Amino acid sequence: MAKVRNWQLGREMDYRYENGKAKRQFAAVFNINRCIACQTCTMACKSTWTFSPGQELMWWNNVETKPYGGYPQNWDLKILDLQEKANPGGQVWNATKKDTKTAPYGTFEGKTIFETANQTDQMATGYIPPEADWKSPNIYEDTATRFVKEGVSLPEHSGWFFYLQRICNHCTYPACLAACPRNAVYKREEDGIVLIDQGRCRGYRKCVEACPYKKSMYRPSTRTSEKCIGCYPRVEGTDPLTEGLPMETRCMTACIGKIRLQGLVQVGDDGLWIEDRQNPLYYLVQVAKVALPLYPQFGTQPNVYYIPPRWVPRDYLRQMFGPGVDDAIAAYENPSRETLAVLQLFRATQSIIFSYKVQQGPKTGELKIGGQTREIFDDVAIGYDSKGREIVRVAVHEPVIERQGALAFAMNTI
């Protein structure tokens, strides 16, 4: 086993291979606070990549309802349970052992899925979900089945849940890659996207077992495993639609709630992100620190980051996103002018935004947030492509469009 640096855990850890050579890494930020679980992302992915025989139960992108739901069912509870059994009482963080760059959330003092595995028949602790768990994504979840004319007659909830949007995390230390006995899984140097070579794969399902996020899936019609490919023709700019420029994935660009932002970050030889202050992803994850990795304690260093839902009990969120939750929510609840502007870049363009600028706008009012009065401004966020050309310009103040007459039916919002 090699020793690799996992900055999300604030320490070195065991991994099957040495650090890879990826110079750029596919990464994304999802703002859970704004997701309405419309599943447009899910269908965009499904209709692009997994519509063929044998892929019926395969959802590379899914949106599940927490705390109950999951695809496959209870995937996270099952992994957490396996880890707890392997290291009873030891899966804890030391939030005081922090460093801005190398341990921003503190230090994880428990064991990763690589460190609890026996390293003989398992390279990472995991399990293969039974087929029933893959069926009926969102069963028992928040799926309204009818439209009411008067009042609210659906069961009411005085407590609240949230939606979790999930794709492959294109992890820096992928468990699927470590587990594959055929070396069919590989991580691309140019963008860090993790792929399964369909020619080499023989469908042993070790990747399905090892991926803690359960984003490797078995396809019985080809007897191979498949996974999210990060829409790599779009990301690399070879899809004819992109006109040679890196473009966001299908799930990102389809998001009607504007909760997703995806791009590429630069990675150094030490595995840390190279400072790139005007990259919106770098800003959100490393500077504003409003976005956090999902279950970082698994140890794969996932590259999809989440702005945690601010209304959910904190102990639940700390288990899911680590000890950075309190600071992240504080930064999101009362955002800086820059954060507010960068949030407007989410799904503002199909092209990948490599850098941004904020142009200050006029003061438009004052609000009381968290008991404190704050000024608000109509600033403008400007996004630039890989060649430094302006590709999008959005104001902080969302335009309000009110439809009139017949068009007003059911569509008028506020």
CB atoms within 10 A of CB 397: 15
Q: Residue from 141, 209, 236, 248 that binds other proteins (CB under 8 A)?
A: 141
Task: Kindly give the pairing relationship between strand 93-94 and strand 304-307.
Answer: unpaired
Of the two residues 400 and 406, which places its CB atom closer to other proteins in the complex?
Answer: 400
Binders of other proteins among 153-172, rule CB under 8 A?
A: 153-161
The answer to whether 142 contacts other proteins (rule: CB under 8 A) is: yes
Of the two residues 18 and 398, which places its CB atom closer to other proteins in the complex?
Answer: 398
Please tell me the total number of residues recorded for the chain in this structure: 414
Rounded CA separation 323/279 (Å): 24
Strand partners, 6: 11
Rounded CA separation 216/226 (Å): 6
CB 372 within 8 A of CB 335: no
CB atoms within 10 A of CB 12: 11
Kindly report whether the peptide bond that precedes residue 67 is cis, defined as omega within 30 degrees of 0. yes
Give CA separation, 35 vs 14, 111, 297, in Å: 35, 32, 25
Q: Residue from 14, 23, 34, 245 that binds other proteins (CB under 8 A)?
A: 34
Question: Closest approach of Cβ 317 to other proteins, in Å?
Answer: 10
Contacts with other proteins, 91-130, as mask; x by CB under 8 A: ----------------------------------------
The answer to whether 393 contacts other proteins (rule: CB under 8 A) is: no
The answer to whether 150 contacts other proteins (rule: CB under 8 A) is: yes
Binders of other proteins among 285-324, rule CB under 8 A?
A: 310-313, 316
Of the two residues 241 and 410, which places its CB atom closer to other proteins in the complex?
Answer: 410
The answer to whether 404 contacts other proteins (rule: CB under 8 A) is: no
The answer to whether 326 contacts other proteins (rule: CB under 8 A) is: no
Q: Compute the C-alpha angle 126/131/134, nearest 5°.
A: 80
The answer to whether 407 contacts other proteins (rule: CB under 8 A) is: no
Residues 6 or more apart whose CB falls under 8 angstroms from that of 10 comprise: 97, 98, 99, 102, 103, 104, 105, 106, 107, 108
Q: Residue from 25, 33, 83, 351 that binds other proteins (CB under 8 A)?
A: 33
Q: Residue from 67, 203, 233, 237 that binds other proteins (CB under 8 A)?
A: 67
Of the two residues 241 and 414, which places its CB atom closer to other proteins in the complex?
Answer: 414
Residues 6 or more apart whose CB falls under 8 angstroms from that of 291 comprise: 29, 30, 284, 285, 305, 306, 307, 328
Of the two residues 18 and 315, which places its CB atom closer to other proteins in the complex?
Answer: 315
Task: Kindly give the pairing relationship between strand 11-15 and strand 194-196.
Answer: unpaired
Q: Residue from 53, 88, 89, 151 that binds other proteins (CB under 8 A)?
A: 151
Question: Closest approach of Cβ 167 to other proteins, in Å?
Answer: 23
Rounded CA separation 262/256 (Å): 15
Residues in touch with other proteins (CB under 8 A): 33-34, 65, 67-68, 139-148, 150-161, 310-313, 316, 333, 335, 340, 364-369, 373, 376, 378, 396-398, 400, 410, 412-414
